[in-house]
Structure 1
Amino acid sequence: MKLVAPLSAFDRGDLATAGGKGANLGELVNNAFPVPDGFVVTTQAYEQVAQGRNTREQLERAELPDDLRQAIVGAYAELGGGAVAVRSSATAEDLPGAAFAGQQDTYLNVVGEQALLDAVRRCWGSLFTERAVAYRARLGIDDAEVRIAVVVQSMVQAEAAGVMFTADPVSGDRTRIVVDASSGLGEAVVSGLVTPDHYVLRRSGEIDFTPGRREVVIRGVEGGGVVHESGGAERAERLPDAVLTELGGLGRRVAGHFGRPQDIEWAYAKGRVHLLQARPMTALPPPPVGPLNPIRRRLATVLLEYLPVRPYPIDMTTWLPYGPAGLMGKVTRYFGLRQAFEGFLVEEDGVVYRIVPPSPSPSPRMLATPFKMMRKARRYDPARWTEDPRFRDYLAAAERLRARDLTAMSWPELVRMPRQALALVEPVADLRIDYLPGTGIALLRLILALRLLGLAEWYGPLMGGARTRTSDANQALERLAEVARRTGALKGGPQPEEFQREFAAFLAEYGHRESASPILITPPTWSEAPEIVLSLVEVLAAEPPKDRPRDPLEGLLTHPRLRSERRRARLARKVAAARAGIAFREDSHLAFMLPHPILRRSLLEMGRRMTERDVLDRPEALFHLRLEELEEITGLADLRPEDAERLRETVRARAVKREQLSGVRLIDPAEVFGAGDTGDALITGAPAGGGSATGPVKVIREPAEFGRLAPGDVLVCPYTNPSWTPLFQQAAAVVVDTGGAASHAAIVAREYGIPAVMGTGTATSVLEDGQVVTVNGDTGAVTAAP
């Protein structure tokens, strides 16, 4: 391998030799893109010098071996001498998941052999600047695994230069190209020293232009180096349309060649456009999904509520396709609806990148659906579903699998456990198929009866009064809070024996409940994160519980329109049947989560063993792998070193990509919930009832923050699930980014009689802790309070 080689000697596959920048530039050179001539001082040269030197100062003062010095000087002479740009090119930069933009150094207008050698050494040393080390640490990249090459190119003394994004970096729109430009060298734009001219190139050929201010102009000076000049007198001339058209064409070609949107540095000099760098755009929002019809919009609100966090690869290959979402997909297909719960998550580089709300379509079998539903509704009563032998068999099978000792299993036995846990769920879909028709028909009958009586507004409160396992869990939490108040369990020191006993009993009954999402396997359960439950108990124990409103059915049965005893009895039966359906829907979900902790524990046991063998750095790193990748491992003792390294590299790459996407939304909430005029309101959403209330905002983003809520706070959260609903007992109101008026959170809020506003899209980013607001659950508006 050469210490120094021309750019044309490399392509995109030479990351380990030329670094990210050098590999991409070599690819462009070899595909006839307008790139300035240059050469690469390879990573082998760096390794030769870096032996025994691992600090910035040592590398910058290092003596270069004669063969390396001669190779660099010779390549410089072949380039024609004169001014060059010297750019760092690390092996961990310009990747799909990590740009490392600005983390290593660049030196412009370098003139002379000695200045070039010094610049090369300083580029090497920049691998260990504080900012570069901190950036790698955030991404979990080991310093010892990174190497650095140096790219040397003929200097382009630019008249104008800047950056081009081949997709809109804010909206993610792939049909737009965004160009930032300013006078002089592009470093002024890249480093943020100027407010650049801003161009948006649309596919139609239309160009939007916003002039910049040219606060600073950077120019090369004769003899080497650059100067920063005041740009106040610089004329803010727009780039010629011909140059912008050429830039747009080049940008689309580069993006097409690399197969993804690109971040491109460019320069314009003497009538020519030059490309100085191309790397994948990182942290790019997904492209807009386009107009959503009411069905797709409704499905999107459900998905956002169920996906508060980005799924991992292990989610995508285990619980997501086989758990509740996969189960509902099987149910909807049976009744003739295709693509209702499939294909809604798109991956990129092995990491979930975006939500695309599905577009359900009817199949011919839907013609028979009404007959199927009537037949099943007559045969399967939701009030008696727990007596079904299939359900009893399911419970027994789940208990047998749960009781197995994972730690005593061989690796082949352990690696089969996930499939066995997932297989438990298969009969559950049949139970749902059989009992949901009775639920739907019971609800429909009640709705029609109430409408005929002119009492349709009673439907929501009546359903909120249904007894379910969720309401049982909430009442059990209240009893636990009462024990905590009475025994002083949460005041520090050892917990009283009575509280410990009650707490253990609660986790035994409800500990398999999910903490964040029912369709993901990676978030912990209540048993695995008991601090979440303790936070809920702490919130509830802060003051005595509110009096529960009486059952709405009692009030309804005294209504003047129900004077007939027969009419009251008939309506009471319809309410009981509808509530039994609601209970089936809720309770079956909780029961069907029983395989979840079995699956999760088996995965973490695999992760623990892989950590012991140094294949992973921690058990949870296994979440970055797919189930089929784990199943390919026949044993850990005989795992080949190259296979172990391949697994480690896969985990590293996906972890970096995931970290870069940490601030990127799976879908723009405005596409789902709209972005209309809020008028005087701070935020608006779907009104979910409950009147209005005023209080200080408390933004709670995850279950770990439950303990921060104080009585009388306005709970503002990104999503809710049954784990959150005990908080409603203390909250003055609830405002949620996701969900709708029919969501679980809205129903429970109405049950507690507190205002609720759902589907705001951005409440958690607009509202701030301590801000006093008024929440109107009837209009969906959240306004500033005096």
Structure 2
Amino acid sequence: MGHRSGVQDAGVTGSPSCTGGSSSRASGELVVPLGAVDGSDGAIAGGKAANLGELVRAGFPVPDGFVVTTHAYARVVGARGHCPEESVPGDDGSGIRARIEAVALPSDLRAMITSAYAALGGGAVAVRSSATAEDLPGAAFAGQQDTYLGVLGEDAVVDAVRRCWASLWTDRAIAYRRRLGIDPAQVRLAVVVQRMVDAEAAGVVFTADPVTGDRERIVVEASSGLGEAVVSGAVTPDRYVLDTVGGVREQFSGRREVVIHTAPGGGTSHEERVESTAPAAQLLPDDVLAELTRLGTAVASHFGRPQDIEWACARGRVWLLQARPMTALPPPPVHLGRAQRMLAAILLEYLPVRPYPIDMSTWLPHGPAGLMAQVTAYFGIRSFEDFLVEEDGVVTRLTPPAPRPTLGVIRAPWRLLTRARRYDPRRWTEDPRLAAYLGRGRDLAAEDLSVLAWGQLLRVPQRALNLVHPLVDLRIDYLPRAGLALVRLLVVLHLLRRAGLMSDLVLGAPTRTTDANRALEALAAGAREDHQLSAAVTALDLEAVEDFPDFSAALRAVLDEYGHRETTSPLLVTPPTWADSPKTVLGLLVALTSAPPARAAHHGEALDHLLTHPLLRSPRLRARVRDWIEQARAGIAFREDSHFYFTVPLPVLRRSLLEIGRRLCAAGVLSTAEEVFHLRLEELEGVEDPGRLSRSAAEELRALVRARAARREELTGVPLINPGAVFVSRTDGDALVSGTPAGGGVATGAVRIVSGPSDFTRLREGEVLVCPYTNPSWTPLFQRAAAVVVDTGGLGSHAAIVAREYGIPAVMGTGTGTATLTDGLVVTVDGTTGRVVLAASRGA
């Protein structure tokens, strides 16, 4: 049993209650022919039956059958009070299942089922569960309810219908609904009964490659006998990768360890094949593969999205047994140019998590990404725009655009030079616009959001977003001299044949990040002096930390000054800031509990080495070169510090959104305050006071949140873009992973995977930090790490810059470092060649 069932399919709508509901068939039929339902009948037929009916009506080869509708379920099950899932202890639905399996069917319903069964010829049938809740895209319910194959005889069919109903209350189905936040009152079960196809071969066809997302590749899996062997994972099936006209691109012969057939007396029989080391002979002939390609392509076209289709082949004819949208499908492969790859590498480092709708309508267009789009547009280049694709309100993929020049590029040289002459990054903190910006930010942060009227509260997010406009102007004004200073220094170093000193010369300038790190180091030093305090910090116990007043006051001061720093991404408002997540700061302190190593003094050494050049004997020229270096360092510091100040509105923006969510939660519209992240700002701005919100408006918001939450759940684990398209594989020889060499030197240590801020405390002294991304908040970890290996980023990324400051090897843009390397594996990281190898094989 346990066949993939209860599917939620494309084009099916409806959210019935446990005992009521409506659909396009208002007459309340209990049993209907399969061909009488279509995609609009999900409320009475469930997703599986509705899609099968759609295929029947479109002329596809589907075995004859009928549907025991959700009206029958409501009449028999709902009327007897079996629906209250909230009364189920834990996930144990055994009591409900037992009652449903024992229930007696009304005589008229039983007669309808047996009559419909007789009309199919009275032979073996497949009895399949078909769940509703199609208003929740992504809630596939695959494998949650049951299917019974080879059912023979009237009594057996009626019993199978009851058991399908009961399977809506299996422990796995209850847990699945609770995980997705699906109200059990919205889910009912129909049952589809079809003539059994005694297949010679069967399996699944995917109309897009489920691994790569390639829509031009069709993947067929097949084995002998019924398809249950394939979908249950009982066999190693044959696998064919086809093009869209049925041509075989790849082929793999499986072992087909078990063959399942319909048993003569009902049910199924399992025949185990004699184990052989040789793969079985090819199962499907070319004409069957061509037919599967034709049918699969047509079904995908009919439903308008890639499909996962179960099929069976009997006596040379292919039958379709089920069709549902492919879930968790990666985005289509993309071919990126060099500039697009560079942009994608930057964006992936800043987008380690999938943005929410509230991100897309607030901080993404107005925060650092929006800032860079405005800055580059001012100088005639369009970039950082429309790089995220949304479907049904959920971000599905990242598509980095190629930078495009506009007519404004003609004026760019004049704009660059005039601003470079006027605005010196060494004095940017004296600009009155910065002081005014910080003052407005403090004023807004001081407001008590909890006492604001609803209309006033709804205006706070936009007020926070409007704050950042002066920072855009400051970036436009001060970046030109910063960029020109770096270019000038690089040219000079090339002329002097000292280009290799560039990184060491410009790194290490004082910044707000270094200020934050020193503040953290001071806190860590204080914790090291008190064993009990150190234990509280290590345990991330904020309540215990409060027992140490001096330390608590110092911690609060750090959070007041630096609390707007992001923990995960500067492009998103939904992840917490330091102020929102003080435990993240404690986790950083844990990384500093051992005495921090001295910061590498590369700048002074590099400067001394440069000034010994024979062409720099003149004191005047040496002074000029020193000034050029300081200007370049000031440019680097400006980039870092302007980013630091840019995130000042983040905490109040996030708090205002959560306050809106809290009020909607208190009014019963949302289940948690964080569910507000599934809505867009303009949707929230159109909501009237929750206390006066109509029932229909509240349900509309709830449905929107549920749909987007389920779609996000479906995409869990699906990358925004294939890392292989962004980071060109450089793995060769004995390298486990490789990438961009970003920090000189070689180091050996045990791997430690740090996926995010919650893992900060896992890193031990001398381990190799392997992570998907970094940001300035991660800097203290570099004091503990022997080397750093990052999935994303390049030479100019935060991790690369900090690694060079600390003198530890760094390899950026591996694409697969966190997937390939494992905790405890001892590796050698070569920051000069960009290779990571097993420690024992470095010299191989």
Aligned pairs (5 A) from 1:406-555: 406-488=449-531, 489-492=533-536, 493-494=544-545, 495-549=547-601, 551-552=603-604, 554-555=607-608
Question: Which deviates further from its counterpart, 119-128 or 634-643?
Answer: 634-643
Question: Could you give the per-residue CA deviations for residues 384-433 of structure 1, whole angstroms, max 9, x where no partner exists?
Answer: 22222322222222222222221111111111211111111223222211
Q: What is the match of residue 289 of structure 2?
A: 244
Aligned pairs (5 A) from 1:229-308: 229-232=271-274, 236-290=281-335, 292-308=336-352
Q: What is the match of residue 44 of structure 1?
A: 71
Is 1:314 paired with 2:368?
no
Kindly state the Cα deviation for residue 554 of structure 1 after the two structures are TM-superposed: 4.7
Kindly state the Cα deviation for residue 2 of structure 1 after the two structures are TM-superposed: 1.0
Aligned pairs (5 A) from 1:724-743: 724-743=778-797
Rounded Cα–Cα distance in structure 2 between residues aligned with 1:614 and 1:315? 23
Is 1:187 paired with 2:187?
no
Of 177, 190, 193, which aligns to 2:218?
177
Kindly state the Cα deviation for residue 741 of structure 1 after the two structures are TM-superposed: 1.6
Q: Is the 8 A contact 1:478 1:545 kept in 2?
A: no
Question: Could you give the per-residue CA deviations for residues 297-341 of structure 1, whole angstroms, max 9, x where no partner exists?
Answer: 100110110001111111111111111101111111111112x11
> Can you give the 5+ residue segments of structure 2 that lack an aligned partner in the other structure?
1-27, 84-95, 537-543
Rounded Cα–Cα distance in structure 2 between residues aligned with 1:535 and 1:57? 49
Q: What is the match of residue 138 of structure 1?
A: 179
Q: Is the 8 A contact 1:314 1:625 kept in 2?
A: yes
Rounded Cα–Cα distance in structure 2 between residues aligned with 1:597 and 1:639? 28
Question: Could you give the per-residue CA deviations for residues 475-532 of structure 1, whole angstroms, max 9, x where no partner exists?
Answer: 2211221122224422235542221121111111101000000000000000110111
Kindly state the Cα deviation for residue 32 of structure 1 after the two structures are TM-superposed: 1.4
**Residue 253 of structure 1: SS of its match in structure 2?**
helix
Q: What root-mean-square deviation, in Å, do the aligned CA atoms of Structure 1 and Structure 2 show? A: 1.8
Distance 1:368 1:571, change over 3 A: same
Is 1:23 paired with 2:66?
no
Q: What is the match of residue 86 of structure 2?
A: none
Aligned pairs (5 A) from 1:573-652: 573-652=627-706
Question: Which deviates further from its counterpart, 85-94 or 686-695?
Answer: 85-94
Question: Which deviates further from its counterpart, 634-643 or 131-140?
Answer: 131-140
Q: What is the match of residue 370 of structure 1?
A: 413
Question: Could you give the per-residue CA deviations for residues 451-472 of structure 1, whole angstroms, max 9, x where no partner exists?
Answer: 2222111110122121111111
AA aligned opposite 2:53:
G
Kindly state the Cα deviation for residue 264 of structure 1 after the two structures are TM-superposed: 0.3
**Residue 540 of structure 1: SS of its match in structure 2?**
coil
TM-score by length of structure 1 reads 0.97
Question: Which deviates further from its counterpart, 721-730 or 651-660?
Answer: 651-660
Q: Is the 8 A contact 1:314 1:623 kept in 2?
A: yes
Rounded Cα–Cα distance in structure 2 between residues aligned with 1:729 and 1:214? 54
AA aligned opposite 2:626:
A
Q: What is the match of residue 388 of structure 1?
A: 431
Q: What is the match of residue 357 of structure 1?
A: 400
Is 1:10 paired with 2:25?
no
Identical-pair percentage: 61
> Can you give the 5+ residue segments of structure 1 that lack an aligned partner in the other structure?
none
Question: Could you give the per-residue CA deviations for residues 68-109 of structure 1, whole angstroms, max 9, x where no partner exists?
Answer: 212212222333322211100011479641322222111112
Of 53, 58, 65, which aligns to 2:82?
53
Q: What is the match of residue 775 of structure 2?
A: 721
**Residue 491 of structure 1: SS of its match in structure 2?**
helix
Q: What is the match of residue 101 of structure 1?
A: 142
Q: Is the 8 A contact 2:729 2:814 kept in 1?
A: no
Rounded Cα–Cα distance in structure 2 between residues aligned with 1:219 and 1:485? 69
Q: Is the 8 A contact 1:20 1:94 kept in 2?
A: no
Is 1:348 paired with 2:375?
no
Question: Could you give the per-residue CA deviations for residues 578-622 of structure 1, whole angstroms, max 9, x where no partner exists?
Answer: 111111111111111111111101000011111111111111111
Rounded Cα–Cα distance in structure 1 between residues aligned with 2:743 and 2:599? 19
AA aligned opposite 2:255:
R
Q: Is the 8 A contact 1:487 1:496 kept in 2?
A: no
**Residue 490 of structure 1: SS of its match in structure 2?**
helix
Rounded Cα–Cα distance in structure 1 between residues aligned with 2:146 and 2:610? 77
Q: Is the 8 A contact 2:600 2:807 kept in 1?
A: no
Rounded Cα–Cα distance in structure 2 between residues aligned with 1:463 and 1:547? 15
AA aligned opposite 1:424:
L
Distance 1:326 1:177, change over 3 A: same
Q: What is the match of residue 164 of structure 1?
A: 205
Aligned pairs (5 A) from 1:740-751: 740-751=794-805
Q: Is the 8 A contact 1:95 1:280 kept in 2?
A: no
Q: Is the 8 A contact 1:697 1:770 kept in 2?
A: yes
Kindly state the Cα deviation for residue 271 of structure 1 after the two structures are TM-superposed: 2.7
AA aligned opposite 2:458:
V
Q: How many residues align?
A: 784
Kindly state the Cα deviation for residue 449 of structure 1 after the two structures are TM-superposed: 1.6
**Residue 522 of structure 1: SS of its match in structure 2?**
coil
AA aligned opposite 1:510:
Y
Q: What is the match of residue 654 of structure 1?
A: 708
Q: Is the 8 A contact 2:599 2:805 kept in 1?
A: no
Is 1:219 paired with 2:272?
no
Question: Which deviates further from its counterpart, 102-111 or 169-178?
Answer: 102-111
Q: What is the match of residue 763 of structure 2?
A: 709
**Residue 716 of structure 1: SS of its match in structure 2?**
strand
Is 1:116 paired with 2:116?
no
Q: What is the match of residue 89 of structure 2?
A: none
Q: Is the 8 A contact 1:96 1:282 kept in 2?
A: no
**Residue 467 of structure 2: SS of its match in structure 1?**
helix
Question: Could you give the per-residue CA deviations for residues 138-169 of structure 1, whole angstroms, max 9, x where no partner exists?
Answer: 32323343211101111112121110000001
Rounded Cα–Cα distance in structure 2 between residues aligned with 1:36 and 1:632? 49
Question: Which deviates further from its counterpart, 131-140 or 249-258?
Answer: 131-140
Rounded Cα–Cα distance in structure 2 between residues aligned with 1:86 and 1:301? 50
Question: Could you give the per-residue CA deviations for residues 26-55 of structure 1, whole angstroms, max 9, x where no partner exists?
Answer: 211121111112111111211111122351
Q: Is the 8 A contact 2:344 2:726 kept in 1?
A: yes
Q: What is the match of residue 21 of structure 2?
A: none
Rounded Cα–Cα distance in structure 2 between residues aligned with 1:171 and 1:676? 20
Q: Is the 8 A contact 1:557 1:568 kept in 2?
A: no
Q: Is the 8 A contact 1:21 1:94 kept in 2?
A: no
Q: Is the 8 A contact 2:751 2:823 kept in 1?
A: yes
Question: Could you give the per-residue CA deviations for residues 523-552 of structure 1, whole angstroms, max 9, x where no partner exists?
Answer: 000011011111111211223443542643
AA aligned opposite 1:45:
A
**Residue 241 of structure 2: SS of its match in structure 1?**
strand
AA aligned opposite 2:612:
H
Kindly state the Cα deviation for residue 223 of structure 1 after the two structures are TM-superposed: 3.5
AA aligned opposite 2:556:
A
Q: Is the 8 A contact 1:95 1:279 kept in 2?
A: no
Rounded Cα–Cα distance in structure 2 between residues aligned with 1:192 and 1:611? 42
AA aligned opposite 2:621:
R
